[in-house]
Structure 1
Amino acid sequence: MLLTITCTRPDDAAWAATDLGYLLHKHPDRAQVFDQSYGTAHVLYPEATEQRCTAALLLEIDPVRLVRGKTRGTPEFSLAQYVNDRPYAATSLLAVAISTVFSSALHGRCARRPELPDTILPLRIELPAVPCKGGPDRAERMFAPLGWSVTATPVVLDPAFPEWGDSHYVRLELAGTLRLADALTHLYVLLPVLDGGKHYWLADDEIDKLLRAGANWLPAHPERDWITRRYLARRQSLVRTALARLAEIDDAAPEELDAVDEVEVADDAGSDSTGPVTDVHPAPRHDGTRSPLPEPQPAPVSLAVLRRRAVMSALRATGARRVLDLGCGEGVLLRDLLADKMFEEIVGVDVSTRALQIARRRLDRMPGAMAHRIQLRQGALTYTDAALRGYDAAVLMEVIEHIDPPRLPALAHSVFGAARPATVVVTTPNGEYNSLYENLSAGGFRHTDHRFEWSRAEFASWAASIGRNYGYSVRIESVGPEDPALGSPTQLAVFGTSERATTMAEEARR
């Protein structure tokens, strides 16, 4: 069973193709071996240069270890347990290996190079044999909506007997430009789905595994229901629960997007996200040869997702362990924080008890081991709270624009003066960008509860005043597709303290 991942470095890239080794946490100069419950996984690099790097995951399956402990009385006891395709075809066993051998990469973590997990990479993935009873069309329907250029070639039953036709296996080649973590989650979910069966015991926590891996793409996938049923082996009780939770995520999208359809706007505004490639089979030329495949395009990603990624990247870069999510709402960012083990203590604060109740219900569905890392508190951000002092970082994601301008100094004192975390990350809409939203009237705001939506200059002025008054350095970044004249849809500021700055700020206030 073989999986290869190839990264090719563009000429203008600031990174090397061998950075793939940092992302996978496997050094290109070494071949490594990992024991699995059903065999052995090998990781090696057939090629590793600054321009092109290929990592290979080779899985050796021991059929005897798969059935060890089963007795003759079990329903599945048969010769088929020992003579089967498991050593060769990419199934749920490969998905398990991805989750164990490439765990850090799957979860978007890289301790040595924390900026790398958010880097968009040109990737090519090859799998020599994938069970796919729906044929090439089924493989395309699974991967093309995620931005992959798909080449699925049927594997013949026997080359010596072409009249026997094709088998239900395909050679799968995927080309796309996306994060490595996203590519691995696609494989982790969809390989068992194409196979149609799990080769391990299906427990109730499979729903949590599915939602964690597919949170950023499964709710909007056109084959969402079919994927969910196949992933959960058609166990109706699990399927119903999973689909309900996916629908809840999907229903939350307009609220996360500040009531504006920012996915469509991103494309209209000149985003690089042009959607999935639909013409994945090269057309024949007049001379009988085939045209090259179209350049792979990244899947369109909502601004809400890009915003959370930017916040998470900023937090990881600081090394923060204890984090406040101020104005946490219904817990969308809290789930991302919980999914990253780097964050050891997380506190969500919101003025709305209803929002906190919804956040609690969502968080309760996550694995129980995570519960001790998080607490939710009801409170207004314009009032100081001694319990919020001493944290490494705080986030105000799409919060300040909901505060009446006369109350902003009170919020600034509460967060930057009283709580005083070492780092504060703030995001807010860029009001200049609003003219690109066709469904937004002139002078209108993206959400009915917004009290203002600042221009870039207004946000920079506010951030600078916070830095002067409270002793923070300030760095402003753009989030989302950038218009040459109007900037990006979201603006992000990272505030940081130092010992000297803290002392100066305290003396100035005295």
Structure 2
Amino acid sequence: MLLNISTTHKPATDLGFLLHKHPDKFQSFELTIGQAHVYYPESSEDRSTISLLLDIDPIDMVKKARRLNGAEFSLGQYVNDRPYVASSFMSVAIAKAFSSALNGKCKDKPELVEQALPLEVSLAVLPAAKGGEKLIKSLFGPLGYTLDIQNHALDSKFESWGKSKYFTLRLKHEIRLQDLLSHLYVLIPVLDNDKHYFVNQKEIDKLLERGKGWLETHPKKDLIISRYLFNLKSLTREALDRLDDDKSLESESEEIENPELNIKKENLHQQRLAAVVEQLRDSGAQSVIDLGCGEGKLLRLLLKEKQFQKITGMDVSYQSLSFAKEKLGWDEMAPAQKARINLFQGALTYEDQRLKNFDAAALVEVIEHLDENRLAALERVVFEKAQPQTVILTTPNAEYNSQYDSLDAGSMRHHDHRFEWTRAQFEEWAQKVALKNNYSVEFLPIGTEVENLGAPSQMGIFTYGN
């Protein structure tokens, strides 16, 4: 399999500086399944081309590959296209041979890293399973590439057999080299829809790192994430959640100023968290558990309040808890601060003794991620068994969705939401829960209210024994 990257940037020999590869040297890199070779078929001031050629060892491939052509084909490890097509093998080779460029580093000419260059890519042969030419265009087109796609016949001697799933792809774009390599690193295995190694949570980190700055806005974001993670639903859902959380964190750091009024406006997520902290503060609680804490955004705010002496976060995702620790600065946290906070993994639908003995509990945009038929389990775990004095619960207001231009009629705000309630539906549910478990409940809007639609988010404040 062969990848060519060319430029007509003047001087075109700058390509060698960016890729940290001298045009006069032929270089080879050891891979787990063979070798990658790097060389320049042309190098001049006007045009330079660098080639990445993979030489796959079929014996190593059989010994070390995760699977080949699926379990349904018993001879798959011996009869397959892996040595000849661009696949996850090519992504690994790009990361190894061009690691400096992929990470945006250039020792001798650092100014080139941020410069958009006229770049051309030739990739042969590329498999595009379950989508073909249309899929290729849908992945590279939105990123601004001009595409030339050649579909190869299944067998040139038997035209009646039709076209194969194999393509030669040529791309053109004026783009940073780092971005080009990131696009290829992610999208080549997405098109192939397979990987030669086991896929685990570490692949989420790789995907989000290489997809930073473009994946979150790509119209085929969900498809890219699913196929990159080998269509594993649990990993796909986690990656999408983390991508949405990253966008939310970015928006949290951006304050919108009105120059005329000199007013700084908070986004909805900031308003929601501030409202929850205010209610927890007013409740007099000294111990608080954040149920479904995610990456710890509420926990960080609670740590700033001296009133809260015991702060706990629980989440079903171990990965989210790891990120929460990172965001909290766990390793550098002062001993006095660390003594106030605890994190643990758990599920809201199973009784857990660790949930007891808290003054207050917060469930911020959590219930809508559960199937409605599982809410009874949550009610029992939180309100009947754990029974904190105060429960602060927020959830989207479905009536407000019509205000979002990006939402189609009847759709929900997040891919993982199982339901979204109107104000009346939420109040009916909350009042039944309160009555059954000896709580009283009051309701508050979060965000700017619109006549007849209410606010974008809604809050229920449950108080035990009133």
TM-score grouping bracket, smaller chain normalisation: 0.5 to 0.7
Asked if the contact 2:37–2:52 (Cα under 8 Å) also holds between the matched residues in 1, the reply is: yes
State how 1:76-475 maps to structure 2 within 5 Å: 78-133=74-129, 134-255=131-252, 258-259=255-256, 354=301, 364-365=322-323
Q: Relative to 1, partners in 2 of residues 1:355 and 1:179: Cα closer, same or farther, differing over 3 Å?
A: farther
Asked if the contact 2:117–2:174 (Cα under 8 Å) also holds between the matched residues in 1, the reply is: yes
Task: Report how far residue 62 of structure 1 moved.
Answer: 1.1
Counterpart residue number, 1:3: 3
Task: Report how far residue 376 of structure 1 moved.
Answer: 7.8
Name the SS of the counterpart of 1:80 in structure 2: coil
Counterpart residue number, 2:283: none
Counterpart residue number, 1:438: none
Task: Report how far residue 83 of structure 1 moved.
Answer: 2.0
Q: Relative to 1, partners in 2 of residues 1:70 and 1:232: Cα closer, same or farther, differing over 3 Å?
A: closer
The answer on 1:19 being equivalent to 2:19 is no
Asked if the contact 2:65–2:197 (Cα under 8 Å) also holds between the matched residues in 1, the reply is: no
Name the SS of the counterpart of 1:104 in structure 2: helix
Task: Report how far residue 251 of structure 1 moved.
Answer: 3.3
Task: Report how far residue 353 of structure 1 moved.
Answer: 5.1
Asked if the contact 2:4–2:51 (Cα under 8 Å) also holds between the matched residues in 1, the reply is: yes
Q: Deviations over 1:72-131 (max 9, x none)?
A: 9x9689432122111111000000110111111111111222222111110000112111
Counterpart residue number, 1:340: none
Q: Relative to 1, partners in 2 of residues 1:79 and 1:121: Cα closer, same or farther, differing over 3 Å?
A: same
Task: Report how far residue 171 of structure 1 moved.
Answer: 1.0
Percent identity reads: 45
Q: Relative to 1, partners in 2 of residues 1:50 and 1:200: Cα closer, same or farther, differing over 3 Å?
A: same
Q: State the distance in 1 between where 2:179 and 2:91 align.
A: 14
Task: Report how far residue 211 of structure 1 moved.
Answer: 0.4
Q: State the distance in 2 between where 1:49 and 1:189 align.
A: 30
Q: State the distance in 1 between where 2:238 and 2:195 align.
A: 19
Question: TM-score, normalised to structure 1's length?
Answer: 0.50
The structure with the largest alpha-carbon Rg is 2
| Number of residue-to-residue matches in the alignment | 277
Any stretches of 5+ residues in structure 2 without a counterpart?
258-298, 305-312, 314-318, 335-466
Question: TM-score, normalised to structure 2's length?
Answer: 0.54
Residue 45 of structure 1 aligns to which amino acid in structure 2?
Y
Q: State the distance in 2 between where 1:199 and 1:95 align.
A: 11
Residue 101 of structure 1 aligns to which amino acid in structure 2?
A
Q: State the distance in 1 between where 2:181 and 2:322 align.
A: 26
Asked if the contact 2:29–2:35 (Cα under 8 Å) also holds between the matched residues in 1, the reply is: yes
Residue 14 of structure 2 aligns to which amino acid in structure 1?
D
Task: Report how far residue 54 of structure 1 moved.
Answer: 0.2
Asked if the contact 1:154–1:168 (Cα under 8 Å) also holds between the matched residues in 2, the reply is: yes
Counterpart residue number, 1:307: none
Q: State the distance in 2 between where 1:22 and 1:366 align.
A: 39
Name the SS of the counterpart of 1:128 in structure 2: strand
Q: State the distance in 2 between where 1:224 and 1:3 align.
A: 25
Q: Relative to 1, partners in 2 of residues 1:4 and 1:374: Cα closer, same or farther, differing over 3 Å?
A: farther
Q: Relative to 1, partners in 2 of residues 1:167 and 1:180: Cα closer, same or farther, differing over 3 Å?
A: same
- What's the RMSD between the two structures over aligned residues? 3.4
Asked if the contact 1:205–1:367 (Cα under 8 Å) also holds between the matched residues in 2, the reply is: no
Name the SS of the counterpart of 1:81 in structure 2: coil
Q: Relative to 1, partners in 2 of residues 1:101 and 1:253: Cα closer, same or farther, differing over 3 Å?
A: same
Residue 111 of structure 2 aligns to which amino acid in structure 1?
E
Name the SS of the counterpart of 1:234 in structure 2: coil
Q: Deviations over 1:262-295 (max 9, x none)?
A: xxxxxxxxxxxxxxxxxxxxxxxxxxxxxxxxxx
Q: State the distance in 1 between where 2:325 and 2:168 align.
A: 36
Q: Relative to 1, partners in 2 of residues 1:196 and 1:147: Cα closer, same or farther, differing over 3 Å?
A: same
Mean CA deviation greater in 195-204 or 246-255? 246-255
Asked if the contact 1:208–1:367 (Cα under 8 Å) also holds between the matched residues in 2, the reply is: no
Asked if the contact 2:66–2:196 (Cα under 8 Å) also holds between the matched residues in 1, the reply is: no
Counterpart residue number, 1:295: none
Q: State the distance in 2 between where 1:29 and 1:111 align.
A: 19
Name the SS of the counterpart of 2:217 in structure 1: coil
Q: Relative to 1, partners in 2 of residues 1:85 and 1:130: Cα closer, same or farther, differing over 3 Å?
A: same
Q: State the distance in 1 between where 2:166 and 2:73 align.
A: 25
Q: Relative to 1, partners in 2 of residues 1:77 and 1:146: Cα closer, same or farther, differing over 3 Å?
A: same
Q: Relative to 1, partners in 2 of residues 1:103 and 1:362: Cα closer, same or farther, differing over 3 Å?
A: farther
Q: Relative to 1, partners in 2 of residues 1:34 and 1:220: Cα closer, same or farther, differing over 3 Å?
A: same
Asked if the contact 1:364–1:371 (Cα under 8 Å) also holds between the matched residues in 2, the reply is: no
Q: Deviations over 1:50-78 (max 9, x none)?
A: 11100000001112101226899x96894
Q: Relative to 1, partners in 2 of residues 1:86 and 1:112: Cα closer, same or farther, differing over 3 Å?
A: same
Q: State the distance in 1 between where 2:332 and 2:168 align.
A: 47
Q: State the distance in 2 between where 1:374 and 1:171 align.
A: 49
Counterpart residue number, 1:48: 43
Residue 156 of structure 1 aligns to which amino acid in structure 2?
A
Q: State the distance in 2 between where 1:35 and 1:3 align.
A: 17
Residue 192 of structure 2 aligns to which amino acid in structure 1?
D
Q: State the distance in 1 between where 2:24 and 2:147 align.
A: 30
Residue 112 of structure 1 aligns to which amino acid in structure 2?
D
Task: Report how far residue 373 of structure 1 moved.
Answer: 13
Residue 31 of structure 1 aligns to which amino acid in structure 2?
F
Q: Deviations over 1:302-324 (max 9, x none)?
A: xxxxxxxxxxxxxxxxxxxxxxx
Q: State the distance in 2 between where 1:115 and 1:71 align.
A: 41
Name the SS of the counterpart of 1:246 in structure 2: helix
Name the SS of the counterpart of 2:113 in structure 1: helix
Q: State the distance in 2 between where 1:84 and 1:196 align.
A: 15
Residue 223 of structure 2 aligns to which amino acid in structure 1?
W
Asked if the contact 1:220–1:250 (Cα under 8 Å) also holds between the matched residues in 2, the reply is: no
Q: State the distance in 2 between where 1:367 and 1:105 align.
A: 31
Counterpart residue number, 1:38: 33
Task: Report how far residue 216 of structure 1 moved.
Answer: 0.9
